Every structure is written in structure tokens, then in C-alpha cells.
Amino acid sequence: MNLLVDIGNSLVKLAVFDGGQLLAQTSTKYLQPSTFDEILKGRRAERAIVESTRGDADEILAQVRDHADYVLEFTPRTPVPIANAYRTPETLGRDRLAAAVGATVLYPGRNVLIVDFGTAVTIDLVTADATFRGGCISPGMRTRFRALHDYTAKLPLCSATESEELQGLSTEEAIRLGVMNSISFEIEGYMSRMREKIDDLCVIFTGGDAKYFAKRIKNTIFANCNLVFCGLDRILEYNASEEHLD
């Protein structure tokens, strides 16, 4: 049984995998001892992995060690089962690399474009030879809503809408549609350009806000909100089994 801990910009997400299958998951703003008891159901994990997009994870690592026999901190020096063409691997978000590994698990031998909808929107390419080829980063949905509210005098703080209209008839509608449509058009444009360059391109939507865009974007895509967990589970097995030494 593997315990996976993904420390994001906004939330700490935990999952339990066994034999490559997701058994349980949860998320919390502040990690408490009871969180481990709830997700592990009083058991002890054989292995655990911790990755953080925030940097220092010492406090959470110490907590995880109380609940697992083998604990791996996912750092830029951790061996992974794919090649990495990023020129500055030390600055690459571990969640982006984990998602890339997850894509090779789910779609081996395919060219995969990963769109992760979180605090930031990241669009990354993994080619059929299992190589991470980099991508783009832009503000996420909630970040855009927050920026319009925080950096103007009177614009209200808004949230997602399911409407696909192009014009809002109130300021609130205009903000909602402006943010949602701008992200949709951004992703559609990127997908279109990439498909002109790369044959047989598979597109995966992941991240907490993927559910808002899976129906809005009218192209063939796959949605998997557990892509990072899938990659972390593979990285953990790859290191715990010393497969990388073969």
C-alpha cells in the first residue's frame, strides 16, 4: 500500500494506491494527524512519497514518516522513469513532472499534451519516446478572478459559470465569461497549433478545475483528475524497487 502526498499551492492532497489502483483520496488546507488516520484507516503504509510545489516539506515529511515504512521525498534529483528535456530541471514543478510520468503510464507510446487546471494552468508535452518536452504556464481560473478583484477598484470577486455565451449583460457576467472563455480559447488555440505539428496527439485534462472546461472545449480530450497521483505512484515504485539501478 502506497501513500502519496502532493503539496500544492492551495491544498495538501493525499491518496492511497495499491497495485496501481486508487483506493482513497482526500485534500485539506492544513494537514492534521487525523487526516492520516482517516485515509489509511488506522493502517501503516508500506511506502510513501511526498512532493511539494511550495518548496520546504520537512514538517510534512516528519508526519508521513510516522505512517510509512519507506518514505521518498520527490526532489529534482529523484530518478524518474522518463527522460527530461527541460533545460532547468531544478526549477521544474514536481507536479508537472509527476503528471508527465502519469501520462506515460496511462498512454504508453503516445504523444500526450497535458493540461493541468490549478492555481496555474500548465500545458506540457510528453512525446511517444517517453520524454518530457516542456510547456507553458499561465494564471489559473481562480487566480484570474482574484487578480481582477484585487487589482481594480470596483470589480467584484466572481467564480466559475457553466454558461458558454460570449457576451455578459452585467459586470459580474462579463467577468465570469471573460475568464472562462479566455481560458477555453487559450487551450483550444494551443491544442490546434500542437495538432498541426504532432501526429496522433492525445490530450489529457487534469487538476482541480478541469471539470469546468472538459465540456466547454469541443475537441477530443480525456479527463483524469488523478494524473499527478498516478505519476507519483509510478515514481515511488520505480525508486523503492531500485528499478532505476537496472
Q: Can you give the CATH number for the domain in which 161 is found?
A: 3.30.420.40
Segment 36-79, tens digit of pLDDT: 989 999 899 999 999 998 777 888 899 999 999 999 999 999 99
Judge whether residue 87 has pLDDT over 90. yes
Lookup result for grid cell 508537472: 96
In terms of domains, do 135 and 203 share one? yes
In terms of domains, do 36 and 106 share one? no
- The predicted pLDDT at position 117 comes to 95
Average pLDDT, the chain: 93
Active site residues: 95
In terms of domains, do 91 and 208 share one? yes
State the pLDDT confidence band at 246, using cuts at 50, 70 and 90: low
Judge whether residue 245 has pLDDT over 70. no
Q: Model-level pTM?
A: 0.91
The number of domains in the chain is: 2
Based on the number of CB atoms within 10 Å of its own CB, is 22 exposed (0-12), middle (13-18) or buried (19 or more)?
middle
Looking at the domain assignment, is residue 234 inside a domain?
no
CB proximity list for 216: less than 8 A, separation 6 or greater: 164, 180, 184
Structural domain harbouring 22: 2-73
Return the C-alpha torsion angle 14, 17, 23, 25, nearest 10. Answer: 10
Judge whether residue 98 has pLDDT over 70. yes
In terms of domains, do 222 and 112 share one? yes
Nearest to 128 by CA among 198, 176, 67: 198
In this predicted structure, which of 32-36, 116-120, 153-157, 230-234 has the lowest mean pLDDT?
A: 32-36
Judge whether residue 148 has pLDDT over 70. yes
In terms of domains, do 33 and 111 share one? no
Judge whether residue 221 has pLDDT over 70. yes
